[in-house]
A and B are shown apart, each in its own frame.
Chain A
Amino acid sequence: MDAQLKKGLLDVCVLSVLREGESYGYKIITDIAPYIAISESTLYPILKRLESTGAVTTQSREFNGRLRKYYRITEKGRERIREFTEDVKEFERIYRFICLGEEK
């Protein structure tokens, strides 16, 4: 898959996981892994980017005697998912045009 396309998809995948409720690094990876390949080093910049753009907020809480960083989606993050689904509808039309010739 194209690297740029995958990057954009991964951002939305992370947001989709968080839409179900707050989560943390390890769980985000295991939730996404069945659908799209993601590594620890790939997730880190995604989380940082989402945090810096205000799509997620973070909170560190104690768990089993150590700190665990939780990520929570914001309204801006939800908006990003909505934008993505709109984009996909457009992609579908283009896909049909390219592959099936339905638009002709």
Chain B
Amino acid sequence: MTKKQWLKRFKKKLSALPRGEQEAAVEYYTELFNERIDRGESETEIINTFGSPEQAAVAIACEKNEYSKIAYQSSGGLTAGRFFAVTLLFVFVGIPVLVVIFVLGVTAVALLVSAFAMIAAGAAQALYFLIVQLIYGFSAGFLAQIGIGVAAAGLGFLLVPLFLRCLKWIFKGCAKMFTSSTRLICEKRRA
């Protein structure tokens, strides 16, 4: 195991603690790693003295009376009260969040599809009136229609990157929303 892998597993095991606590603990161990590396110790030697990341995390959490939060990851069992609270949270928070995420996702995809549809429609209109003009001869009206078609297709091309960015934002937002609501429900489950 490398230093990076050790710290990654350590942080993962501390995930039940508040973010600030996790970062402080990771900074502490990172500093100790660096100090010992500076003094010529290998990562393997250091890890041998630190023990497993799980042991280190449990030791820290034990001292902070947070043991139950970490130990819970490998244990189970819900009391009736907690089950009721978790169910309520799922019904009133989980389901609405899932619905919002689904709607936002559909909206994001629809936006992107609409940009492509605009390109296709604009190109089709321009092509159609180009053919009409070739068949029936030049007309200012046909030329204007071709212009409108080209403009619509051009606008569609401009909208694609914008909508792609929107799609990314929306998906990121959905992921955050999902993570926070899951954390809320899981914390209640552990409490």
List A residues at the B interface (Cβ < 8 Å).
24-26, 39-42, 44-45, 47-49, 64, 66-69
A69 touching B36 by the CB < 8 A rule?
A: no
B31 touching A68 by the CB < 8 A rule?
A: yes
* Chain B residues numbered 17-68 whose CB sits less than 8 Å from any CB in chain A: 24-25, 27-29, 31-32, 34-36, 38, 49-51, 55-56, 59-60, 63-64
Q: Known pairs A26-B35, A45-B60; list 10 more (Cβ under 8 Å).
A: A24-B35, A25-B28, A26-B31, A40-B50, A44-B28, A45-B63, A45-B64, A47-B28, A66-B34, A67-B31
Cα distance A49–B63 when bound, in Å? 10
Cα distance A25–B50 when bound, in Å? 14
Which single residue of chain B is at the shortest CB-CB distance from A49? B63
Interface size class of B (residues with CB under 8 A): 20 to 34
B59 touching A26 by the CB < 8 A rule?
A: no
Closest approach, in angstroms, between the C-beta of B30 and any C-beta of chain A? 8
A25-B32 contact given A40-B50, A64-B38, A69-B27, CB 8 Å threshold: yes
Report which of B24, B32, B51, B55 forms a contact with A26, defined as CB distance below 8 A. Answer: B32
Interface majority SS on A: helix, strand, loop or mixed? Answer: helix
Interface majority SS on B: helix, strand, loop or mixed? Answer: helix
Cα distance A67–B60 when bound, in Å? 22
Cα distance A25–B31 when bound, in Å? 8
Residues of B contacting A68 in the complex (Cβ-Cβ under 8 angstroms): 31, 35
Chain A to chain B contacts (Cβ below 8 Å), 18 pairs: A24-B35, A25-B31, A40-B49, A40-B50, A40-B56, A41-B55, A42-B59, A44-B25, A44-B63, A45-B64, A47-B28, A48-B24, A49-B63, A66-B34, A67-B27, A68-B31, A68-B35, A69-B28
